[in-house]
Amino acid sequence: MPKPDDMLEGQNVPENHGKPDTQDRGFKGGSSTDGSLEPSSQAIGPFDAGKAFFLGMFLPDLIAGALVVPESWARVIHILGLPAVAIYLSWSKGLCIKDTFYLRLRWDPDFRYLALLSAGFMSLEILLLEGVNWLTKGKLAEWMELYDVRDHPESFLVRILLTAVLVPIAEELLFRGFSVSAFSGWGRGWAVVFPSIIFALVHPPAMMPGAFVIGVLAAMVVLRYNSIVPAVLMHAAANLLPLLAGRLVEMAGVAWAETIAEVALMAIVVSVFMFRRKFSWLWQEFRRMWRQFTEKPQSGMRFKELVRQWPWILMFVFLAANLILIVLIPFVEF
């Protein structure tokens, strides 16, 4: 069994931190030679994660298209449909939904700092993009507009509801709750890193680095607190920040409004730096998870196992096609 993670002195640590649930998630009590849990006959695994990812992303869109619903409702169906396949797979195997998706409602004062950290990373990403855009004399903004496929409902409150409430809940259920459980049999490194890579690759190109960072952080806090609540809060903070900054600029409609928004973003980054001791355990944890994920020869063997499974073949084909389109779109005239 993996050893409990090292924590900073004085921090609140749940009693079950670092101790995978060997009963409720469909795993046996024993462990394999590489420290991962041995799945039982009814356990969910990487094959199930592949089905949940691929079908969860495409089935809702097919259903919305068949029903010919308005675009705004099609987006709602897409969001709510993301975790639907994962929930069905868990239910069909007789697994406890609450345990499989880490649906333990709990609160810890550290959740506030984790939300701040997420907002800080998003602020830093926005500031860096703004800087690169200034250096390239607006070329970056033009490039990003080529991939801007987001809907912009008329009501700002609707945008908040969809982007900062429904999306974080749905995506965390799939990419963190279900995926962490599905890949736990391959070790905590795979449960944290690999789903975060997939999560990043389904985002627009400029958002991929930030999505990967937020994904990894969210997965690690899910394992630490044995709850999806802090991950949802972190995701919501990351999604809400650009909305609020953009709204400030829209409402003011003057040049100085953008300056105020940038100063606010800088203040958030400075705040994260001031509380950096609260987050130092995350860097230590990430290094440990990355070593487990890249460990040879297990990493190569597991990738080979994935490419022999039809859900992952389709998923990798889709991701490869998406990356090719990202490269080609700037050279295509519309």
| Residue 62 lies inside a defined structural domain of this protein | no
| Residue 63 lies inside a defined structural domain of this protein | no
Question: Given this model, what pLDDT does residue 65 score?
Answer: 87
Report the DSSP pairing between strands 37-39 and 27-31: antiparallel
Question: Given this model, what pLDDT does residue 152 score?
Answer: 58
| Residue 284 lies inside a defined structural domain of this protein | yes
**Phi, psi (degrees; rounded to nearest 5) at 28:** -75, 170
Q: Left (φ > 0), alpha (ψ -120 to 50) or beta: where does 138 sit?
A: left
Q: Angle CA(287)–CA(288)–CA(290) in degrees, nearest 5?
A: 65
| Residue 24 lies inside a defined structural domain of this protein | no
Question: Given this model, what pLDDT does residue 253 score?
Answer: 63
Residues 6+ apart with CB under 8 A from 248: 257, 260, 261, 264
| Residue 12 lies inside a defined structural domain of this protein | no
What is the span of the domain harbouring residue 170?
107-331
* Pairwise CA distance, residues 285 & 246, whole Å: 34
Question: Given this model, what pLDDT does residue 74 score?
Answer: 87
DSSP 261-299: HHHHHHHHHHHHHHTGGGTHHHHHHHHHHHHHHH-TTHH
Question: Given this model, what pLDDT does residue 7 score?
Answer: 38
Show pLDDT as tens, one digit a residue, over the chain (334 residues).
444 444 333 344 444 444 434 334 443 333 444 444 444 445 899 999 999 999 999 999 899 888 888 888 888 999 999 999 999 999 999 999 999 999 999 999 999 999 999 999 999 999 999 899 889 888 888 888 777 655 555 688 888 999 999 999 999 999 999 999 999 999 999 999 999 999 999 998 889 999 999 999 999 999 999 999 999 999 999 999 888 887 877 776 666 777 888 888 899 999 999 999 999 899 999 999 999 999 988 899 999 999 999 999 999 999 999 999 888 877 765 5
Question: Given this model, what pLDDT does residue 256 score?
Answer: 75
3-state secondary structure of 177: helix
Q: Residue written as tokens 């799945």?
A: 39
| Residue 132 lies inside a defined structural domain of this protein | yes
The count of structural domains within the chain is 1
3-state secondary structure of 105: coil
| Residue 291 lies inside a defined structural domain of this protein | yes
| Residue 56 lies inside a defined structural domain of this protein | no
